[in-house]
Every structure is written in structure tokens, then in C-alpha cells.
A and B are shown apart, each in its own frame.
Chain A
Amino acid sequence: MIRLLSAGMLTAIACLALLSGCKKGASASSSNAAAQQAAEKTASGIEMVSLPGGTFTMGTNEGNPDEGPAHKVTVSPFWIDKYEVTHDQFAKLQLPDPSHWQENAKTPVERVRWRDAKTYCNERSRAEGLTPCYNEKTTEWDCDYSANGYRLPTEAEWEYAARAGSDSLYTGGSPEALRQYAWFVTNSDQKTHPVGQKKPNAWGIYDMDGNVSEWCEDVYSATYYNESPAVDPKGPPNPEKDVKRAMRGGNWSAPAEACRVTFRQGQRTGNTDACFATDFCGFRCVRRAPAQQVAQALK
């Protein structure tokens, strides 16, 4: 079970959000870990969910070898997009949209390569006057986690947000319940769907389990859980050869087993030509919580 870092956090988050220029959303808030968290609209009108930091059990001993061992991880407070990044958001930032299905502006972008996703993060940061997290002059676009701009989630942040306070490996508690929360091979009609049509998880975040799989910041390593730090793990060092980055969450073509919140995969970052990109790779952004929120959480 997730342990929140501080009670009454959401009141503080709401105040801090106002101080930092965000518009308060309409979602209900509660100090209960299983209740929806505060939703905010960013300066560019994108809804994010503000998550308190907490300690949770990451991974499982009952899945694939790379999903274990289950281990305790603490993550700092952060904000995460309520929905996967969509075509209209890409277009607003004048970015080339590589997606297969573009008929509906509210379906998630896919066939997005890791660096495309990072480009979006930096452009969105600039559009909102924030400091970009990624250094575009380095080969791997090194991430400055202290910057206040947008970035991809770490695997720990992603799983923390996907679990939403639950111990279950599946949102909704079972593979059978997954239909209510996710577009996956059983119900997707072999394509993506507009975001936010299924039920959100307990923290009010949509499509974490399906529609498109989501890029994370971490280098992927099947054995990382044996050695990862207990606080804010950011993935193993870059091996600089045959690098794969972590991708989390199910997608329109995935079976239910691949939609469990602990399921992991590593994907090449995509230096092959556009014509060979895969059409299930999408993403959503996170942002570090304002410093005051972090300080409050640590009290």
C-alpha cells in the first residue's frame, strides 16, 4: 500500500499550484491514497494530476523476471499528465507527428521515438516559460531533474502513478476488470482511441494501462531492480551501446498480461528511419513539484 508523505498535502498543492501559475482543476481531492488527486491545468491548458510523493512496492515477484524483485521505493512529489499526449498537442507545438492514426486529434500520438518525445517535452517547457529539462546538445539529451520543465517519467514515477495507491497488478483489481480502464487487444479494434474514454485509475489518471505504451526516461535493464536505489531511482547508467529505454503500460495491441502495472519492456530509442517505427509507442509528461511542495512533503 502506498504511504503518502504527508497528510493534508493536497491543500498545500492547491495553494502552490496557484502560486506557480497553474489553474486549479475541478477534480475532487482527498487525503485518502485511493481517492482522486488534485488536477491542474498548465499554462498551455493541459491537465495534469499532482501526486504527493510516497513509498510503494515497485515490481512484483509474480511476473516476468525483469519485474522483480518487488522492492520498496520512495518517490518525491511530481505532476503527471492526466492523459497521454495527443495529436493536437503535437500540432500546437509545430512538431512533426509520425502517427499512424491521425483522424481524431484527441487520439494519442504513436510511432513516437524516444527523442521525439523529449523534443515535445522541451518545446512544451519553452512554450510555458519553464526551463527545459533536456540538454539538446548532448548525445543522449541528458536530463536535468532539477529543472522545472517537462520530462518523461522515471519508471518509478510511472509505476507509482499507475498503481494509484493499489497493491493490485491490474487497475481495477483483475484482468477481467481491465476492459473498463484500458484499450488493449481485446477491445481496441486494433487501433488507438481518443484519450480519456475509459475509466481513470484511482488517482484520476487515464489510459495508463492501454491505448499506447509510454516512454520513460530510464535506460532499460532487466536486472535493475536488484540494485536500484530506494529513493527516486532513475535507471541504470547508460551502457552507450545497444541502449534501450524503458517503456511502460499496455497498448492497443497488447494482451491483458502486458497491461499489468508492473510489466516492463525496453525499446530502442529509434535511430532507424521513420518508415520502420512502431505504432504503439506514445508517452505522457511529468514535471517536478514546486520546491515548496517537496519541502512540505519532507516535513
Chain B
Amino acid sequence: MVAVALSASARAATQPTAEQKLKATPFKIAWEAYANGNSDIWIMNADGSGKVNLTQTPNINEHYPQISPDGTKIAFNVDAGEGRSAVRSLWIMDIDGTHRKKIADEAREPFWRPDGKVLGYLPQEYEKFAVIDYYTKGMMFYHLDTGKTEPHVNSANLRHLYHPRFSPNGKWIVSTVHGGMGFSHAILLIQADGDKIINLKIPGCRPSISPDGKHIAWGSGDHEIDTAPIDTDSDNPSVGPWQMRIQDEKNKVYHIAWSPDGKFVSFSRGPDGEGDLQKKGTFQAACEIIGVYATDWNIFAVPADHPRVVNLETCGPADVEQLTKTGDSNKEPAWFIPAKQGKE
């Protein structure tokens, strides 16, 4: 028994830390953070080094960065105004922060088609603003080559979706629905070019499919993120038993995102809260929601091959790395392959 313990201990000592593993990856992470009076989009290396504020717009609040598959463009939301007269719009810009272009007003939660030619988004449900994430109706596709926008073929029947993502094969859009489309609350697979909808029957929200299309990660509770197998090449995918669970009894964990090679997941973590109205341009709701200031929230990453439970309160440096430390509402991490490498 002692020998086993020593052996395990020795293994732990020789195991590379999550930081070392992350340092060896070529990827970067974009995220949003609130500093110096407004929200901006930042990028950093996978190990948390080399942080750069891409937007630096003191009077404009940028949120929810989503990077094109080739790593050349960022889609994001901009919030302007206050209360119910605020406007949330959808923009794109180059990965260096230049060439900003508005795509649509009253548009939320962009998501890239795997070929990078189409940007999906969710139109706001009504004209008046509400910060809540499921305040959406329909689904639109913006074609980057023509500049034209078209609705999803089943757009008229899509309501109260949030946090959509394409599956890597482009066949499905995985999304949460809350109080809409006949669902109380569910994580759905929506056929990308048809009207098929599959209830994955897993609790929670904000799903994301791994780059190989064989795993799904999602927030199964305020304090838990799960991963589980799924086959998105199937015509009727279903989710298997969970494989890895990231857990934190004290803090909330949200906004799971896969690294481009599927070897890591990053997420946001911090205490419960309802925002801070002293922060200009922010709103009041659950702090994980876009546009709500999340006090003491930071970005973390863990290797995605952990066998079972990663308890964030007790795990060691081999299992987790904290990538930001300011606590300034660091949320919504999104991995990407730097453009130069993406073109190779």
C-alpha cells in the first residue's frame, strides 16, 4: 500500500504540470475582460503569457469573442447604451484588432461554420434590450464572401436558443434552449440545413463539441462541467456517460471551450454574483451572462484527458492552470490557431 502511494507520488512529481503542457502548445486564447472602465477583447498564449488588449475602446464594451477556424478573424458582440434602450450588435474584425465591421444590430452569440465562410448568430427576440442570454428568436447565417444574410431553414421555429456552436463536421448546431420550442430547458442538436432537432437529454447549458466531433463538454450545473462521448457523424447522436467532470463547490464554473487539438479545455471560474452596477456599461443578472460584470472571475485550463473528477479546490498543478489573475470579469475563453500557423 505504502509502495503504491509512493509510486503515485513519484509519478505526480515527475508528471509535467498543466502549465508546462500548455506552454508547449502553439495555440492562443481570446477572452473578454473588464478593465479601466470597460469590457475589451484580449488574446493570450495558451499558458497565459503574452496578454494583449485587442480592442482598447474606452467607451465601447466588447464581449464574447469567437475566432474564425483559420484564425484570421474575430466575431464579437458590442453593447452600447443603458437599460432597455441598450443595443447589442454583432461585429467582426481581423485577428490584430483592425478592420472592424458591423454585421447586424440586435444580434447575439456568433458562431462560425467550420469552413469559416459563414458566421451564424441569434437575432434578439424583441427590439427592446434585455441582458438575459435566451432572449433570442430565430437563427441567421451571414456569408462573408457576399455580405448577405439568410435565415436558417427552420429559423421561424427556433426561439430562446443560446450559446450555439457548430459540430466540426458542419452537420449540427448544438445549443441550449430555455423556455422555447416546446422545451422547458434542454441542450439540443439542431440540423444545420434542415428541421431535425434532437434533445440530447443532458442537464445544464452551454455545450461545445470537441474538434474531432467525438466528445461534448457542457456546464452540467453551476459548479460542474462535464465531458462525455457523442458521435456527431451519426444521424441520431446521443450522449454517453460522462468521462471527465470539472468540479468546484465554492465557485461557479462556466464557458467551456476546447483547444483546437482537443487536448485541453478552458473555462471561466469565480464566485456567484449578480453583477456590479458601479461598472459602467454592464447589466445586472447572473454573473456568467454576457454583459454582466463577474467579480473575481478568471480563466483556467485543464488537460482534457483527466480520467474522472478534477476537483478545482484540491487538485494540483498537473491538473489545472490559472491563465488570468486580475479577477476583472475574465470570461468566455475561445481557443484558436494563430493565423500564420492556420494557413500552413
User: With an 8 A cutoff between CB atoms, is A279 at the interface?
Assistant: yes
Please give, as numbers and ranges, the residues of chain B lying within 8 Å of A123 by CB-CB distance. Answer: 84
User: With an 8 A cutoff between CB atoms, is A146 at the interface?
Assistant: no
Q: Whole-angstrom distance between the alpha carbons of A93 and B129 in the complex?
A: 11
Contact of A99 with B179 at beta-carbon distance under 8 Å, contacts A123-B84, A136-B83, A274-B134 already known: yes
User: With an 8 A cutoff between CB atoms, is B205 at the interface?
Assistant: yes
Q: Whole-angstrom distance between the alpha carbons of A96 and B129 in the complex?
A: 10
Q: Would you call B277 and A139 a contact (CB within 8 A)?
A: yes
Interchain CB contact (< 8 A) of B204 among A111, A138, A275: A275
Q: Would you call B128 and A98 a contact (CB within 8 A)?
A: no
Interchain CB contact (< 8 A) of B179 among A97, A115, A138: A97
Q: Would you call B179 and A273 a contact (CB within 8 A)?
A: no
Q: Would you call B284 and A115 a contact (CB within 8 A)?
A: yes
Q: Whole-angstrom distance between the alpha carbons of A276 and B134 in the complex?
A: 13
Q: Would you call A273 and B130 a contact (CB within 8 A)?
A: no
Please give, as numbers and ranges, the residues of chain B lying within 8 Å of A271 by CB-CB distance. Answer: 272-274, 285-287
A138: nearest chain-B partner, CB-CB: B277
Q: Whole-angstrom distance between the alpha carbons of A95 and B274 in the complex?
A: 19
Please give, as numbers and ranges, the residues of chain B lying within 8 Å of A137 by CB-CB distance. Answer: 277
Total residues of chain B contacting the partner, CB 8 A: 36
Q: Is the interface of B mostly helix, strand, loop or mixed?
A: loop
User: With an 8 A cutoff between CB atoms, is B198 at the interface?
Assistant: no
Q: Would you call B184 and A96 a contact (CB within 8 A)?
A: no
Q: Which residues in window 127-167 of B have CB below 8 A to A?
A: 127-128, 130, 132-135, 160
Q: Which residues in window 135-149 of A have CB below 8 A to B?
A: 136-139
User: With an 8 A cutoff between CB atoms, is B79 at the interface?
Assistant: no
User: With an 8 A cutoff between CB atoms, is A3 at the interface?
Assistant: no
User: With an 8 A cutoff between CB atoms, is A20 at the interface?
Assistant: no
A54 CB, min distance to chain B CBs, angstroms: 36
Q: Whole-angstrom distance between the alpha carbons of A169 and B203 in the complex?
A: 39
Q: Would you call A94 and B178 a contact (CB within 8 A)?
A: no
User: With an 8 A cutoff between CB atoms, is B94 at the interface?
Assistant: no
Q: Which residues in window 229-279 of B have CB below 8 A to A?
A: 254, 272-274, 277
Q: Would you call A96 and B134 a contact (CB within 8 A)?
A: yes
B138 CB, min distance to chain A CBs, angstroms: 15
Please give, as numbers and ranges, the residues of chain B lying within 8 Å of A29 by CB-CB distance. Answer: none
Q: Would you call B272 and A274 a contact (CB within 8 A)?
A: no
Please give, as numbers and ranges, the residues of chain A lying within 8 Å of B274 by CB-CB distance. Answer: 115, 139, 271
User: With an 8 A cutoff between CB atoms, is A100 at the interface?
Assistant: yes
Q: Which residues in window 57-75 of A have CB below 8 A to B?
A: none
Contact of A273 with B134 at beta-carbon distance under 8 Å, contacts A94-B127, A102-B179, A123-B84 already known: no
Q: Would you call A98 and B134 a contact (CB within 8 A)?
A: yes
- The CB with the most chain B CB atoms within 10 A, among A99, A136, A271, A279, is that of A271
Q: Which of the four size classes fits the interface of chain A?
A: 20 to 34
Q: Is the interface of A mostly helix, strand, loop or mixed?
A: loop
Q: Whole-angstrom distance between the alpha carbons of A137 and B128 in the complex?
A: 18
Q: Would you call A111 and B179 a contact (CB within 8 A)?
A: yes
Q: Would you call A273 and B277 a contact (CB within 8 A)?
A: no
B289: nearest chain-A partner, CB-CB: A273
User: With an 8 A cutoff between CB atoms, is B319 at the interface?
Assistant: no
Q: Whole-angstrom distance between the alpha carbons of A136 and B178 in the complex?
A: 25
Q: Would you call B222 and A272 a contact (CB within 8 A)?
A: yes
Q: Would you call A273 and B288 a contact (CB within 8 A)?
A: yes
User: With an 8 A cutoff between CB atoms, is B208 at the interface?
Assistant: no
Please give, as numbers and ranges, the residues of chain B lying within 8 Å of A279 by CB-CB distance. Answer: 184
Q: Would you call B286 and A273 a contact (CB within 8 A)?
A: yes
- The CB with the most chain A CB atoms within 10 A, among B135, B179, B180, B273, is that of B179
Q: Would you call A95 and B178 a contact (CB within 8 A)?
A: no
Please give, as numbers and ranges, the residues of chain A lying within 8 Å of B178 by CB-CB distance. Answer: 98, 274-275
Q: Which residues in window 108-132 of B have CB below 8 A to A?
A: 125-128, 130, 132
Q: Would you call A94 and B126 a contact (CB within 8 A)?
A: yes
Contact of A96 with B185 at beta-carbon distance under 8 Å, contacts A273-B222, A273-B286, A275-B176 already known: no
Contact of A272 with B272 at beta-carbon distance under 8 Å, contacts A100-B179, A115-B284 already known: yes
Q: Would you call A96 and B277 a contact (CB within 8 A)?
A: no
Interchain CB contact (< 8 A) of A273 among B84, B182, B205: B205
Q: Would you call B284 and A96 a contact (CB within 8 A)?
A: no
Complex A-B, nearest 10 residue pairs according to Cβ-Cβ distance, in ascending order? A94-B126, A96-B135, A94-B128, A100-B184, A271-B274, A96-B132, A275-B205, A96-B130, A98-B179, A275-B185
Can you give 16 contacting A-B residue pairs, CB < 8 Å? A94-B84, A94-B127, A96-B132, A96-B134, A96-B160, A97-B179, A98-B132, A98-B134, A136-B83, A137-B277, A271-B286, A271-B287, A272-B272, A272-B286, A273-B254, A279-B184
User: Apart from A98-B178, A279-B184, what 15 extra A-B contacts exist at CB < 8 Å?
Assistant: A93-B128, A94-B130, A95-B130, A96-B160, A98-B132, A98-B134, A102-B179, A111-B179, A123-B84, A271-B272, A271-B285, A273-B288, A273-B289, A274-B185, A274-B205
